Amino acid sequence: MEFTAQQIAAIIGGKVEGNPEVKVSAFGRIETAIKGEIAFLANPKYEDYLYSTGATIVIINQDLKLEEKIEPTLIRVSDPYSSFAALLSEYEKIKQQNLSGIQQPVFIHATAKIGENVFIGAFSYIGENVVIGDNVKIYPQVYLGNNVIVDANTVLFPGVKIYHNCIIGKSVCIHGGTIIGSDGFGFAPQLDGTFKKIPQIGNVVVEDFVEIGSNCSIDRSTIGSTIIRAGAKLDNLIQIAHNAEIGSNTVIAAQSGISGSTKIGKNVMIGGQAGLVGHLHIADGVKINAQSGVTKSIKTENTAVTGTPAFEYTQALRSQILSKNLPELEKRIKELEKALADLQKEKS
């Protein structure tokens, strides 16, 4: 697929500076791009590459002043990073539009309802009473259990497994290997020291415009629903336990774990390898630093926390400084104790 600078500018709302008819057919990084590729400049650290890049088109900030003459055609926008992301999204949509029809072999139960312009890849399984909306793209080896609903414009990449009764909203993207609706970790301890499994009869609800990375596991609730609210973004390798709720537009980085029945507000940011114990409430706008262990609810909005157990970010930094100074403080205390002992000897 080829696009002219003028066509790209129309997609992202930019202004062309240079030849509007030049064409590109691929994307590249500004430092390594070659002829026929489009790149972008958002970070000032890479500005020098603007004058040496081989890219045919570069998206830049509308206010950037050029230090010297350049070869590429420019498209000026207010936010190059967001504009480049929007262009990539449009490119993906165009590619996916070419996917349609049902490959063979697949299993589709007679009671399943399939919308228009749906793609179902080979070796997929579509169970009883499944409902698949218009323009859904289901890549090979996807499993949809009985009574699953997948709404319009959603993309399920290879190997996604969605267990029975789960609901996936519109324009959701779920990457390969992720499992939605596996049993929550519920076991009742018995008098003899064994554990008896508690049936998990709820489901998982993933609302609209959510993106879930690869190899995540989101457990079904014991009763009711585990919920991922609209616009949430989950990285790879994340565990969401039963009856948890992830607020709208919350982002969670890789290898994080959310324990059962914890409710996370909207616009929360959780760094990689963070862990949250069960039955907590996390207020809107909270920021949880990477590798933090959250053991108590955070009720104040827009708080930043770090450490294990996690506490307020600036206090944590002060504690770290004090911790670094402990050896020197210990040395000074011993010197003072010795000086005090020597004074007492002189007096006696």
Set 109, 164, 175, 242: catalytic member = 242
Write out the H or E segment, with its range, that includes residue 313: helix 313-347
CA 6 – CA 75 distance, rounded (Å): 9
CA 342 – CA 348 distance, rounded (Å): 10
Burial 69-82 (b: 16+ CB within 10 A, else e): ebebbbbbbeebee
Contact assessment for residue 17 and residue 75, using Cβ atoms and an 8 Å cutoff: yes
The tokens for 113 are: 């309802």
CA 99 – CA 101 distance, rounded (Å): 7
CA 306 – CA 320 distance, rounded (Å): 11
CA 120 – CA 50 distance, rounded (Å): 42
| 242 catalytic per annotation | yes
Residues taking part in catalysis: 242
